[in-house]
Structure 1
Amino acid sequence: MRGWFREAAGGLPRQFWFLWVGILINRLGSFVVIFLAIYLTSERHFSQSQAGLVIGLYGVGGAIGTTIGGVLADRWGRRPTMLTAQFGAAALMLTLGFAYDYWQILAVTFLLGVVTEAVRPAFSAMMVDVVPDRDRVRAFSLNYWAINLGFALSAVGAGLAAKADYLLLFVVDAGSTVITALIGLVFLAETKPKTAAPHAARRQPGLGMALRDRTYVLYLIISLGAVIVMMQHLSTLPIAMAADGLSAATYGWVIAVNGVLIVLGQLFVPRLIEGFDRSRVLALAALIIGIGFGLVAFADAAWFFALTVVIWTLGEMLQSPSNAATVAALSPAPLRGRYQGLNSLNWSAGTALAPVAGGFTQEHLGDAALWLGCFGICVLVAVGYLVTGPRRERRIEQLLATPSAPAVAPAAPDALPPMVAEPVADDARAAG
């Protein structure tokens, strides 16, 4: 057991563990997103379409936030971007709890999406900065483990808090975000790589360089299908369970199965998938996710819904660290913030599209069409991963073999983005 623990968690830099603790605390209090659909339909008595629009608007705001956050992480720095967004998110979370009119909820939710999602590219870029390539699958697995430990506990806690007072959800969520920001303020050092010369940063390519990377953009487009399916667990799944007469507390326990499974098994995943082609792992994960969500079409009791959660969680456990490591491997060092921002943008787009498309399908075509459609999408995603896999591996090999250059020059649309010199930041070295 000691040997397994050393393999799973040993040798990672100190700064990574500060990030890990911060994300765990933040997720322990992430009550609102889990229960937002139920809050809007049950407590505020909005329609399914109105609730879907609110959650979708959060995704639109998140798309803007991740784009801004990725650019700021590269130009302003990882640490100031994270702190500004986290303190802003806490304030807006409390504001949302007191918002009453529908237009107020729409506006505040949009702004909350902007600031909350702006944290993600800075956080991911900082993690890639401090963790060497050989340890990133382990690091992302540990991070995902912390996210889901917090998610499992918060799902149960949020269900109990909702019974007492829905406002408590917003207060606890805001408080956990403030604590996470304070950990960053006190313990995290800036890790943004230093450029070779003072003028190099001014000549560094912008977001357009990442958008012209066709290999990376194609990977994101394929992954978007899986994101849209997975995000149904926060929008249409609770509505489907409520339609079958199941309470908000029951949904909390059922969805907590997702976090419990990941907590129990996620740290074994790196050893399980070691040595396997990452495209095949991603394809298998997509198929398992599709089977899990497809079976929801036949679920009519809490135990059956819990079984579907078990199945798609197994796919998610394979997908998450493999996806994160793939994105990191495809990201040139000077553009890590932007590449991570585009990856977060992909998730934000899925967050925006999932409740709108899912809610429309559920309301007008029925549950069977929604869940069987989710299975079909995942089959297409799996095929896409397999077909485009060799191209991604060639790009990763090219990035690893390309030496650093002192300046940035124009690139062909699908050429490897050129590199600037990347001496390790002093703060990052000290933290490690």
Structure 2
Amino acid sequence: MRGLRRWWDDTAGGLPATFWYLWSGLLINRAGAFAMLFLSLYLTTARGASPSLAGLVVGAYGAGGAAGTLLGGVLADRWGRRSTLLAAHLAAAGLMVALAFSRHLAVIAVLAALVGVVHSMPSPAFVAAIVDVVPEARRSRAFNLQFWAFNLGMAVASLLAGVLAEASFLALFLVDAGATLAATVVIALKVPETLTRRPVTLRAVAGRRPGLHTALTDRTFLTFVGLTFLLAVLTMQTSTIMPLAMRDDGLRPTAYGVVVALGGALIVAGQLFVPRLIEPYRKSTVLAVSTGLMALGFAALTVADGLPLYLGAAVVWTVGQMLAAPPNAQINADLAPPELRARYQSVFYLTFPAASFAAPALGGLSLQHLGARHWLVVGALGLVAAAGHLLAGPPRERRIAELRAAAERAATVPAGR
């Protein structure tokens, strides 16, 4: 019992109540965010859209997501984390209801783009609020729990979506709206505004007037974003190129489902043990090792020709993903000046829609022309990212130390000056 209590303290102890309400809102939101998973199926079966038109509508959702990420970051820093979260969740619930009853494809396309905006807006605000309320020493475990909740919610969403889609597409959209409203209630009742107005200290560190352009011209931060983009390209292989490779190997879609389910099960079962495992090591070292594992897992697909080899490779790259999640999120938070915290998050989160475009667009060409050797290219990208983390680690740490020193000096400035 004592060992279990110690493990719990190491994994989730010492986190403030506001974090747990944010975590609960995130979990409810992700578990209920399933309607857009079946958008293309809904368009082709219930609305008579062609596959190409359905692809354009889904693409509009993705484009809206990129815009919503930046908008959410700016609003969260100017307007407040809580206000941004509430506005985005309320708008998402209303738009989902509108989608449920819309019949014209043009209207559905516009609504899908708007849903993409409001679905992406909360991400920078959620992370900025977590950084606001969680002490620095405990942020790694907080981000680990956030990653765990996100994957648990997605697993639940995938199961619920299949059941509801078979029963009624109308129910699919309305239950999604209801879950979003439930998350809104949790945030409205339990999450206070975490944004505090501080003296502007960034000029002492960056020499610029603070704004979104600061994040977009911060070389140390952008180097980290670029390395995260490579990691995201690797991760996106599982949902974009791997299904095609498995089909070419004569495997059925159910085999692909088994591989994806294994990765999700590993994360849900094992993610809570990660913080204690990686705590003794430098973050750059952990990221290098984790990215190297992902490179090894995907490179192994070069010789994969049956389900057992795909499952074994999935174990390797999933362990890499699990190790990468806490330090990746914490470095991102540490590199952001307090007054630009959400803006930096929004730029960081742009890596994922960018990777979701680059991975299938370039990966498809690579698989077509290189065949199984495509996976050697993917593995090489992972090794480049691993080496990049080792090289970029020392200057990142110096930059973080500068930001901490500036924040400490700002804390000594009398209020009102």
What is the TM-score with the length of structure 1 in the denominator?
0.81
Residue 281 of structure 2 aligns to a residue whose secondary structure is coil
Equivalent position of 1:351 in the other structure: 356
Separation of aligned partners in 2, 1:123 and 1:291: 32
Structure 1 unaligned residues grouped into runs of 5+: 407-418, 424-432
2:384 to 380, 386, 408: 380
For the Cα contact (< 8 Å) 2:251–2:307, is it kept in 1? Answer: no
Write out aligned runs for 1:117-266 (5 A). 117-165=120-168, 168-196=171-199, 205-238=210-243, 244=250, 246-247=252-253, 251-266=256-271
For the Cα contact (< 8 Å) 2:124–2:343, is it kept in 1? Answer: yes
Confirm whether residue 272 of structure 1 aligns to residue 277 of structure 2: yes
For the Cα contact (< 8 Å) 2:251–2:306, is it kept in 1? Answer: no
Separation of aligned partners in 2, 1:42 and 1:291: 40
For the Cα contact (< 8 Å) 1:289–1:311, is it kept in 2? Answer: yes
Write out aligned runs for 1:298-377 (5 A). 299=304, 304-359=309-364, 361=366, 364-365=368-369, 368=372, 370-377=374-381
**Partner AA of 1:274 in structure 2:** E
- Displacement of 1:240 after TM fit? 5.2
| Range 264-273 or range 170-179, more displaced | 170-179
For the Cα contact (< 8 Å) 1:37–1:235, is it kept in 2? Answer: no
- Displacement of 1:264 after TM fit? 1.4
- Displacement of 1:373 after TM fit? 3.2
For the Cα contact (< 8 Å) 1:330–1:396, is it kept in 2? Answer: yes
The alignment covers a number of residue pairs equal to 404
1:368-406 Cα distance to aligned partner (Å, 9 max, x none): 355443222212211211121111111112222235556
Confirm whether residue 80 of structure 1 aligns to residue 72 of structure 2: no
1:269-289 Cα distance to aligned partner (Å, 9 max, x none): 111111212112111111222
| Range 103-112 or range 133-142, more displaced | 103-112
Residue 402 of structure 1 aligns to a residue whose secondary structure is helix
Equivalent position of 1:283 in the other structure: 288
1:12 to 10, 15, 18: 15
For the Cα contact (< 8 Å) 1:31–1:172, is it kept in 2? Answer: no
Q: Residues 403 and 128 from structure 1, CA distance in 2 versus in 1: closer, same or farther, beyond 3 angstroms?
A: closer
| Range 348-357 or range 138-147, more displaced | 348-357
Confirm whether residue 61 of structure 1 aligns to residue 61 of structure 2: no
- Displacement of 1:207 after TM fit? 0.7
1:84-106 Cα distance to aligned partner (Å, 9 max, x none): 11122233345556667766555
Residue 276 of structure 1 aligns to a residue whose secondary structure is coil
- Displacement of 1:356 after TM fit? 3.6
Q: Residues 296 and 26 from structure 1, CA distance in 2 versus in 1: closer, same or farther, beyond 3 angstroms?
A: farther
Equivalent position of 1:410 in the other structure: none
- Give the root-mean-square deviation of aligned CA atoms: 3.3
Q: Residues 155 and 257 from structure 1, CA distance in 2 versus in 1: closer, same or farther, beyond 3 angstroms?
A: farther
For the Cα contact (< 8 Å) 1:293–1:308, is it kept in 2? Answer: yes
For the Cα contact (< 8 Å) 1:333–1:422, is it kept in 2? Answer: no
Separation of aligned partners in 2, 1:289 and 1:279: 15
For the Cα contact (< 8 Å) 1:292–1:309, is it kept in 2? Answer: yes
| Range 226-235 or range 123-132, more displaced | 226-235
1:219-242 Cα distance to aligned partner (Å, 9 max, x none): 101211111221233344455556
Q: Residues 296 and 36 from structure 1, CA distance in 2 versus in 1: closer, same or farther, beyond 3 angstroms?
A: farther
Separation of aligned partners in 1, 2:163 and 2:407: 55
- Displacement of 1:154 after TM fit? 2.6
Identity across matched positions, percent = 43
Equivalent position of 1:427 in the other structure: none
For the Cα contact (< 8 Å) 2:295–2:380, is it kept in 1? Answer: yes
Separation of aligned partners in 2, 1:34 and 1:308: 26
Q: Residues 272 and 307 from structure 1, CA distance in 2 versus in 1: closer, same or farther, beyond 3 angstroms?
A: same
2:393 to 389, 392, 413: 389
2:298 to 293, 302, 312: 293
Structure 2 unaligned residues grouped into runs of 5+: none
Separation of aligned partners in 2, 1:36 and 1:292: 31
| Range 334-343 or range 100-109, more displaced | 100-109
Separation of aligned partners in 2, 1:221 and 1:343: 9
For the Cα contact (< 8 Å) 2:293–2:319, is it kept in 1? Answer: yes
Q: Residues 112 and 355 from structure 1, CA distance in 2 versus in 1: closer, same or farther, beyond 3 angstroms?
A: farther
**Partner AA of 2:83 in structure 1:** P
| Range 5-14 or range 282-291, more displaced | 282-291
Separation of aligned partners in 1, 2:106 and 2:366: 24
1:102-121 Cα distance to aligned partner (Å, 9 max, x none): 66555433322211111111
**Partner AA of 2:24 in structure 1:** V
